Amino acid sequence: PEDILDAENSGTTIRLLSGLLAGQPFLSIITGDDSLRRRPMDRVIVPLSLMGAEFWARGNNRFPPMAIKGRYPLKPIEYRLPVASAQVKSALIIAGLLAEGESRIVEPLSSRDHTERLLPAFGARLKKEGNTVIVYGDQELESQKIYVPGDFSSASFFITAGLIVPGSEIVIRDVGLNPGRIGLLDVIKRMGGEVEVYQKEEILNEPVGDVVVKSSRLRGTTVSKEEIPILIDEVPLIAVLGAYAEGETVVRGAEELRVKESDRIRAIVTEFKKLGVDIEELPDGFVVYGPSIPNEGTVESYNDHRIAMALAIAGLSARGPVSINNEECVAISFPDFWHIMASL
């Protein structure tokens, strides 16, 4: 590249690009915004270095900006991820396609599998054995036309809204329903939430359909460590549901949230307490003692789009108005969020 690559706020972009650039025989430099430059990249730097790429990064080779000197072909690898991560796994799958031989990527728990589903549609040879992905290297892919369905993580905010606002019924059409992406629906059903999914078709190995949600009387539940990889972006919304549910809602094994755009565990606990919600911070999650309906107040977004949107949803049935500072950060992932909120 003739210039520095800027991933802005996107952890997915910087990690997947790292896998691609590691297999290119030239030097690249990639950076991001203030938030992204605080997020650890050693989890991709370490395995990609084992494949033959060279990295230089801040903070003892951990944080962006980082320079990548790639090589082609890369060396194949058998690598066990210390933490289940769809981003890291996908970076290594992409790098594996640029390697000479067979690579194996092993996760401790299953994470989202969009990459494994999509790449075979382009002609890639992959094999899945339990939590292991086997990638056959030195392949040529064929271009395809892609239809991108609605993002389930974005839809989750309005699914949650439909559950907690009395008298609601919301239909969300053409949503991606990847089984590794819709873990929140299992949690909602355990909590007694009335939600139905209607799968209509499969596009490039991804199921797509409609979601119908109605306001419901919720009860508390426990979310285990094993569930976290398939609902990690929706954990702040589980706190929202817990505030409107009867009994305790417990989330454990979510320490990965502490190194997202913000420390999302600390953020949601701190801001919920400002609104009078009875919530306890844990090292790897939280406990909400419900029902504990939010009061009116002013809260901080931490410049984190998911925290801002979760607080907005929490405020829909609060006892008074909830104001969010730096609410414009939602544009990072969902520019139309406030417009859709106003239309409901």
Q: Which residues form the catalytic set?
A: 233
Rounded-to-integer distance, Cα 312 and Cα 317, Å: 10
**Euclidean distance between the first and final Cα of the chain, in Å?**
44
Q: What is the total residue count of the chain?
A: 344
Please say whether the beta carbons of 42 and 61 come within 8 A. yes
Q: In what order do the strands lie in the sheet with 285-290?
A: 222-223, 247-251, 285-290, 279-282
Rounded-to-integer distance, Cα 20 and Cα 95, Å: 6
Cβ contacts of 36 within 8 Å, gap of 6 or more = 7, 8, 9, 10, 11, 14, 64, 261
Nearest to 336 by CA among 138, 94, 143, 155: 155
